[in-house]
Chains A and B, each alone.
Chain A
Amino acid sequence: MEFFVVSLLNGISYGLLLFMLASGLTLIFSLMGVLNFAHASFYMLGAYFAYQISAWLDAAWPGVGYWIALAAAPLAVGALGAFVERYGLRRVHRWGHVPELLFTFGLAYIVVEIVQIVWGRAAVPYAVPQPLAGSLFTVYSTNFPTYRAFMMLVAGAMLLAIWLVLTRTRIGLVIQASLTHPEMVQALGHNVPRVFMLTFGGGCALAALAGVIGGNAYVTEPSMAAVIVSIVFVVVVVGGMGSLAGAFVASLLIGLMQTFAIGIDWSPLALFERLGMPLGPDAPLYSVWSLKVSQVAPVLPYLLLVLVLVLRPRGLMGTREN
């Protein structure tokens, strides 16, 4: 029971973090048809920027750095994203979608190198701010960190903010209209390329926000982008390409699945023993049967991806095949 509650809470907070990345990726994809391979790189930049900003500011005024970084890092990365769209992607756009994808792929490559030049190859000591460092409450005997709750709060607030912006504001309505009828929106006098730029920048800012709150909850290191990018892609495909609701469901599903799997030590060997056929190391496929669920955890998202593709190729909530 204790394991269940703790894993549930951790899974939800990890799932929400995934959704912060997947939402921006989905919006950009459905608007521009561009799969932003560098999305996780902006997540990484968010974490590094927040580390740097809080390190600088804390030297002068201890304690305020993180809170300023929480707003400043996403803004800076969002501006960077808008710049990349304006002067990089837009130029490549005329060559078609594949070069656009390759452009972001190359960008991800370069960002990792630049991060290594500036901050080195090892992880940086980006720590949880003091007021959020303790534990919030105790489940049976496990402490639940305050920071996890804070992550959920930020993610929830962001979710609400995206929903309000998309449905209640003028720019949100223009974005929604540009999703389906870009030519018509252009004809009505809206600057669609600028909408693209803003959405791209906004998506990058969301990814950076995820980086600011995820970087110190996990680790801030040059490989953090590569670790998460393929998981986020799985989320987007499993949820259904271009579906925000699908991305939300898939994020939580994968977040929960990974956290639960890591804590389970059960392997099929136990099943064979229960059935009265204990297997020895000589048995056929012993290395498969002896795998514990916790060892399989890293591949579970990809197995889910394959499963979804075979059973329901359009994804959980997708509406179209391609």
Chain B
Amino acid sequence: MGSGASGHRSAIAPAIRVPRVRFEPIDLGRWAIWSATALLFAVLPLVFHKGFAITLLSQMGVMIVFALAYNMIFGQGGMLSFGHAVYSGLGAFFAIHALNWVGEGRLWLPVSLIPLVGGVFGAVFGVLFGYVTTKKAGTPFAMITLGIGELVFAASLMFPGFFGGEGGVSTNRVVGEPFLGITFGPAIEVYYLIAIWCFASMAAMYAFSHTPLGRISNAVRDNPERAEFIGYSAQHVRFLVIVASAFFCGIAGGLSAINFEIVSAENVSTARSGGVLVAAFIGGAGFFFGPILGAVIFIFFAVALSDYTSAWQFYLGAFFVLMVMYAPGGVASLIAMNLRVMRHGLLGRLAGPYGALALATGVLLAGVIALVEMSYQLTLNFASGSQLRLFGMDVDASSWQAWAIAAALVAAGGLAFEAARRRFARTWDAVQALIEAKSHPGATT
């Protein structure tokens, strides 16, 4: 079927255009947003100062860089990759070896510049694999990236000398001379290192999206044929974007090497590649800030939620599928759509339907969580008995009453949700029609 090329863009780049406010001669809005982000990065660990919160924030910082780098090819370049952990993982391996060399005195490099090693080697592998993968576009590209990912993962177990076999390579980040008393021993110092790299990478990637190359990669995403007609080789553009993206992936890999002090074959696995894809998509690939939200959500699921339940992958997978089905623009598009409604002063009309929807979702979610948790308790945690704590109550997963209550919650929540969803859809459509009528007076719909 010939519809392949035209089908790619529709979901990735939703047709919402937020009018940009510009203050000449300097773009005040942009400066305000970036300064606020920098301030947020600086203040967050002062607010959430517990040890666990700092590790969570550090991991979020690394994931933000990774997800944004992934989105350079996914959202902005229109290439779906299932093997992007290759670049971050290989970058991490080179970074950790560099760190070990620094420790042994064979190399002089401040620890704070180690992520750059990851970035450079990420880009080197971007050149190597990008040359092969960009021979195809669209779906074949996706399959080839998966193959490359498997190739590197299998090869990483083949060379234990470099990749450390099953156990991986470990290091000690407290090496070299302290600079202004910073040793990178305490987690908070690592957080600020990650925050600075994260902020710099964010700014660099945002700047990249405004370069001619970034713009033409948008064009290649939307219509490769027309991009070729104005004189750009789509294959070459894709190749360059992959190399740039691989560089930032490598930086993310180098940061994770410093953060965890260990890199193993898991860092180049398909699970990692899938994770970054899920993060970028959930956040919203069509917006620059989408993957940032996605990274935060993903780390919340993978790190915070995994402390409470072993079923976190199920919840993440279900959340992802629901997003694909109902909100392919991601969380960012939902925010943008509601901002649009708010700008027209119509958000108040949606308050009622939103409340009903939230209530029904809560009931449904409680039922589903109860079912899933009890199933997990019975099959995978069987050794610890059938008792579990659920919503602050002790529940016996082997009793039929518990299952009946959970099933009733699911049934009631499901019915309520469907009713609330219909009501919401009606109001939403009415509000959208109003906005359309306001912004295009005279147009008949």
Contact = CB atoms under 8 A, between A and B. Distances in A.
B376 A322 contact: no
Most buried by A among B8, B151, B270: B151
B10 A287 contact: no
Interface in B397-440: none
A124 B180 CA distance: 58
A35 to B, nearest CB: 5
Interface in B273-300: 274, 277-278, 281
Contacts of B325: 88, 91-92, 103
A306 interface: yes
B154 A298 contact: yes
B204 interface: no
A118 B379 contact: yes
B143 A237 contact: yes
7 contacts: A88-B325, A102-B324, A110-B317, A287-B162, A299-B158, A303-B151, A322-B140
Given A230-B150, A299-B155, A303-B151, A101 B142 contact: yes
A305 B142 contact: no
Interface in B26-61: none
B158 A291 contact: yes
Contacts of B10: 95-96
Contact of A302 (B4, B80, B150, B379): B150
Interface of B: 1, 3-4, 7-12, 80, 82, 132, 135-140, 142-144, 146-151, 154-155, 158-159, 161-162, 270, 274, 277-278, 281, 311, 313-314, 316-318, 320-321, 324-325, 328, 372, 375-376, 379-380
7 interchain residue pairs of minimum CB distance? A302-B151, A109-B317, A96-B7, A106-B321, A95-B11, A113-B314, A97-B7
B139 A101 contact: yes
A52 interface: no
B80 A98 contact: yes
Given A234-B147, A237-B140, A103 B132 contact: no
A79 B140 CA distance: 28
B11 A99 contact: yes
Given A92-B325, A97-B4, A98-B12, A105 B274 contact: yes
Interface string A137-175: 000000000000000000000000000000000000000
B7 A309 contact: no
Interface in A60-118: 88, 91-92, 95-99, 101-103, 105-107, 109-110, 113-114, 116-118
B9 A96 contact: yes
A48 to B, nearest CB: 13
A188 to B, nearest CB: 17
Contacts of B159: 287-288
A110 B147 CA distance: 22
A62 to B, nearest CB: 26
Given A95-B328, A102-B324, A302-B150, A33 B1 contact: yes
Contacts of B281: 102
A316 interface: no
A120 B324 contact: no
A90 B66 CA distance: 32
Contacts of B154: 298-299, 302
A109 B372 CA distance: 15
A313 interface: yes
B324 A106 contact: yes
B266 to A, nearest CB: 14
A120 B379 CA distance: 6
Interface string A301-317: 11101100110010000
Contacts of B313: 109, 113
Contacts of B1: 33, 182
